[in-house]
Amino acid sequence: MNKVTNILLAGVGGQGILLASEIISEVMLMAGLDVKKNEVHGMSQRGGSVVSHVRYGEKVYSSIIPEGEVDILFSFEMLETCRYLPLMRPSGKVIVNDWKIAPPSVALGQQAYPENIVANMRQQFADTTLVNGLVLALEAGNAKTVNTVLLGALSNVLEFDRDLWLTALRKMIPERLLAVNLKAFDLGCQTK
């Protein structure tokens, strides 16, 4: 049977989500799999909610993940994680960055940022990993490598050779930022 794995990336415009989904797709392509990824450009750049679908397997048709079939919710921001939980398979995994970005209504003091997000999520999805992306990125030496730290954490739950990830990183990341990103990736790999 044609088994397709579905990863949904979620976060806020400017967090490096599209580059992360690009790198994941590149790994799948190098692994000899069919891969499709999908996202909507345009309005998302301006601090809006951003979502990217990555699907891989022997043969992939739809580039949008069928609702209710997300295997891994790979999220860069707490609140955005909650937004896409309903699209998950009940047996799905969550990897979430420990980071809160206030949406406009919260910044203006009109609405509250939801509380106890991770605890609630763990009740519904036992396999939830919390990654302290910013702390590890700063440890690597650059606050902007949070997305690479998270990729490291993701690589732990996917069965692909480490070399494929490193090759993809080398291909997609500019030379001058490579060393710090490789370090960030390793720190991400060490999270449990």
Partner 1 sequence: MKKVLLSGNEAIARGTYEAGALVACAYPGTPSTEILETITQYKDINASWAPNEKVALEVAIGACFGGARALVTMKHVGVNVAADPLFTLSYTGVRGGLVIVTADDPELHSSQNEQDNRNFAKFAKVPMFEPSDSQEALDFTKLAFAVSEQFDTPVFLRTTTRISHSKSAALLSERPTDIPVPKLERNPAKLVMLPGNARKRHVIVEQRTLDLEEWACQQAFNRVEKGAGEIGVITSGVSYQYVKEIMPDADILKLGMVYPLPKQMIRDFAANYETLYVIEELDPFIEEQVQAMGIKVHGKDKLSVCGELTPGRLQAGLFGKSLPLEDTSADLPQRPPNMCPGCPHRSVFMELNRAKAYVTGDIGCYTLGFMPPLSAMDTCICMGASIGNATGISKVLSAEEQRKVVAVIGDSTFLHTGINGLLDMVYNQSAATVIILDNRITAMTGRQENPTSGYTLNELEAPRVDIEQLCRAVGVKHVQVVDPYDIALTRKTIREEMARPEASVIITTRPCMLVPRDNIERRTPLFVDHDKCTGCKACLRLGCPAITWDEENKKSNIDKIICTGCKVCQQTCGFDAFQECGEKL
Q: How far is CA 154 from CA 27, 72, 76, 105, 113, in A?
A: 12, 9, 12, 31, 26
Tell me whether residue 60 or residue 173 sits nearer to partner 1 (CB atom): 60
Query: What is the C-alpha separation between 144 and 162, in angstroms, rounded?
Result: 22
Q: Which is nearer to partner 1, 104 or 159 (CB)?
A: 104
Judged by DSSP in three states, 92 sits in strand
Q: Name residues contacting partner 1, limited to 37-96 (CB under 8 A).
A: 37-49, 60-68, 79-80, 82-90
Among 7, 12, 131, 136, binds partner 1 (CB under 8 A): 12
Question: Where does this chain touch partner 1 (CB under 8 A) — which range of 110-118, 155-163, 173-181, 183-191?
Answer: 110-118
Q: Note whether 186 binds partner 1 by CB under 8 A.
A: no
CA distances from 12 to 51, 60, 106, 113, 192 (A): 8, 27, 15, 15, 24
Nearest to 181 by CA among 10, 73, 19: 19
- Residue 172, classified by CB atoms within 10 Å of its CB into exposed (0-12), middle (13-18) or buried (19+), is middle
Which CB, 90 or 174, lies closer to partner 1?
A: 90
Least CB distance from residue 40 to partner 1, whole Å?
Answer: 5
- The residue from 19, 57, 98, 113 that contacts partner 1 (CB under 8 A) is 113
In the bound state with partner 1, the residue whose beta carbon lies nearer, of 174 and 192, is 174
Residue with tokens 């909507």: 40
Which one-letter DSSP state was computed for residue 97?
E
- Rounded to whole angstroms, the Cα distance separating 103 from 52 reads 19
Is residue 191 a contact point for partner 1 (CB under 8 A)? no
Indicate which single residue of 111, 123, 156, 190 sits in contact with partner 1 (rule: CB under 8 A): 111
Give the footprint of partner 1 on this chain (CB under 8 A): 12-13, 22, 25-26, 29, 34-49, 60-68, 79-80, 82-90, 102-109, 111, 113-114, 143
